[in-house]
Chain A
Amino acid sequence: MNILELDRASKAYDGHIAVDEVSLAIGEGAIFGLLGPNGAGKTTAIRMMVGIIAPDRGAVRLFGEPFARRHLRAVGYIPEERGLYRKVRLDEHLRYLARLNGLARRDADEAALRWCGRLELDEWFRRPVEELSKGMQQKAQFIAAVMHRPRLLILDEPFSGLDPLNASVLIDVLAELRRDGATILLSTHRMDQVERLCDSICLIDRGRAVLAGGLREIRARFSENWVALGFDGEANFLADGALVADCVRRDGHLEVRLRPGTDPQDLLKRAMASGRVTRFEAIEPSLEEIFIASVGGAGDGG
């Protein structure tokens, strides 16, 4: 079952099309990356998923059913902007949100205490939220989203304000939650985290989905047949235009682009026949390179 689906969802404000017929589907237990440059429409799409705004056209489905507010009991949401009652104690803030999400008071207290211990906020449990650092506030926001054991987590820039150590802790927690059966949608600009965590992605640009699918499949689609070759010997085979389209010398190795349709194994055989091969691996483009190639130079504004 798909836990979350957008079916040609569209939203416009005063003539400006924020989201234009975006479709995506997230399977149960998956970690899904929602990517896009600033102003692409990610936040609008996310707001439609959690019912903050309604699509003008298209549909949102949660847990296999048309969107209904009762489904949100099983959803945990972190918006992009950090949203906390600053003058209130951390425990009171967490308890309040947990109770709004359906937990009984005792369960809310127990969950808040447990999670604060897990994310090293126990010393700040009874302190006003405004006394917490940015990173701590982000962790508090995360706790507020997961306390009620949601089946679906929608996280908009969850690593914002976190140092590498805390970001790593959060990644471990996300992996744990996934093992426990949660489905996660992650909207972030941190490509390294998407590569580390996500099974599939959707790239939105100017309100439209320009790229969607499994991460591996997308990488393969963009790979362009580059191979890193470490070689000692005569490299005459590299002049074979039927095999090699391009060759770039790098520090200690060569990067060879094969002709479309050619098998990398042919290059390996030719290299081994001509000398000693010290390195041979397919080069896949990074997600950042794929992102830039897909959205071009219009990454800011729009």
Chain B
Amino acid sequence: MAAESLRATGLILWREYVQRARSLSFILSTLITPIFFIVITIIPPLLATPNLIERRHLTIACADPALAGELRAQLEGKGGVGHYLVTIDPVTTAGEKARLEARARAGLIDGVIWIDDAAIRTGRVDFISRGAAEFFERDYLQSAIGWAVTRARLARRGLENDEINRALAPVDLDTIALGAPAPGRVESSSGYIVGIAVVFMLEITLLSYGLMVMRSVLDDKASRVMEVLLCAATPRQLMAGKILGIGALAVTQLAIWAAMGAAILAPAAWLTHSSLHAMMPADGLNAASVGLYCAFFILGFLLYGAVYAAVGAAFNSVDEAQQWNFLITLPLVLSGVFVFYLADHPGSRLAETLSMIPPFTPTVMSMRVAAGGASGWQEGLGVAILALSVFAMVAFSSRVYRVGILMYGKKPALSEILRWLRYS
């Protein structure tokens, strides 16, 4: 009997999987979604980069050759491939200022950075151009000018170049986590980034594929095929096959995306004589963490899949199911809303509490794992709580599913749905 049951579930799973895997929508979404994310990741910073297309011609009016030279080096970039073409004017008289303003007004130059002695003392530098400076350009110029002026001030106090370099050397911040996963240095903030990425990936995948389960059940109800199927398979086999088939589709898509990512990074690793592993963020992407993300994804999908299957069975259309859909998605949406706070405070009381509430566990606990804010026993407890809740939800949902899939007509109230639990 068990073998027969597995066979039936397997047939249903395979059908649900193949029917969707070969659909045009799945193929397009699998290929286009990574491209979309790459575009939205790359394009805005590129657009924010000043003078992406053509270099602007600036004049630095400054009597201090060292300061002017340092600023020019910053603006023209290494090897002269920066965003500006810079000329230096050592004259900083009022007349020269008027002449340079006239050239800028005439469009012969794009802007003038006026740094006289007063500017160095007070820190108030003028940037003169025909139009107002763009937001990101202003920021960029301010950073470059500030660096050059600071060096100039230190030089005027008698420091040599070496001393200036030492004084202005960047600081590396090491964070030491006393708690989980093990006391030690956290070398970088990559866990923060990985955690946010994992939360959003889980949120999008659980939502989209959970909804797919619901729509699939609604479609089966609308086509009236359920009664025929129920003579050949039990409601539990039908529900399990559907959830597992669609879950397998989600795993397939994630695996393809991971392979696409590796395919993109592999040539870069080869070119830099590095390895794929070395190119990945150090924190939040070790084998144990990835294993936990997979566990939370699988258990999370089973939990949400069971809920969505019950909702699809209870109602007759997406419109009827809409209000319940809002409640189901709320934990996932809130996880996204609070993700930055949780990433910053992975060990906080809020994070600990939410990570033990089953609808929040997949996302919040994954974030805590990535950010190093969860101890081993908390991770284990999260998995156990989620597994138990999956078991309970499947039992509840299968009873609703069994009755709901044959109910047509008026939209059932919650009290009626709860009565279904007593039907045999």
Contact = CB atoms under 8 A, between A and B. Distances in A.
Given A54-B424, A96-B11, A99-B11, A79 B232 contact: no
Contacts of A52: 227, 230-231, 406
A50 B230 CA distance: 8
Interface string B1-42: 100100010011001000100000000000000000000000
B167 interface: no
A69 B234 contact: yes
A100 B227 contact: no
Interface stretch (A80-88, A191-199, A251-259): A80-88
Contact of B227 (A72, A79, A96, A99): A79
A272 interface: no
A79 B228 contact: yes
Nearest to B229: A100
A155 to B, nearest CB: 12
Interface stretch (B168-176, B179-187, B218-226, B380-388): B218-226
A83 B231 contact: no
B233 interface: yes
Interface residues of A, number: 31
Contact of A70 (B4, B228, B229, B419): B4
Contact of B19 (A70, A79, A88, A145): A88
A141 B228 contact: yes
A83 B232 CA distance: 13
Contacts of A14: 419
Interface string B390-424: 00000000000000001000000000000100011
Contact of B225 (A53, A85, A101): A85
Contacts of B231: 50-52, 72, 75, 77
B227 A83 contact: yes
Contacts of A69: 234
Interface in A49-103: 50-54, 56, 69-70, 72, 75, 77-79, 81-86, 88, 96-97, 99-101
A100 B237 CA distance: 11
A274 to B, nearest CB: 62
Given A79-B227, A83-B226, A84-B225, A100 B424 contact: no
A141 B228 CA distance: 9
Nearest to B424: A54
B424 A77 contact: no
Interface string B207-243: 0000000000000000111111111111000000000
Nearest to A13: B423
B4 to A, nearest CB: 7
Given A52-B230, A78-B228, 5 more contacts: A56-B424, A69-B234, A79-B227, A83-B223, A97-B228
Interface of B: 1, 4, 8, 11-12, 15, 19, 223-234, 406, 419, 423-424
Interface of A: 13-14, 47, 50-54, 56, 69-70, 72, 75, 77-79, 81-86, 88, 96-97, 99-101, 141, 144-145
6 contacts: A47-B227, A52-B230, A54-B424, A70-B4, A82-B224, A144-B228
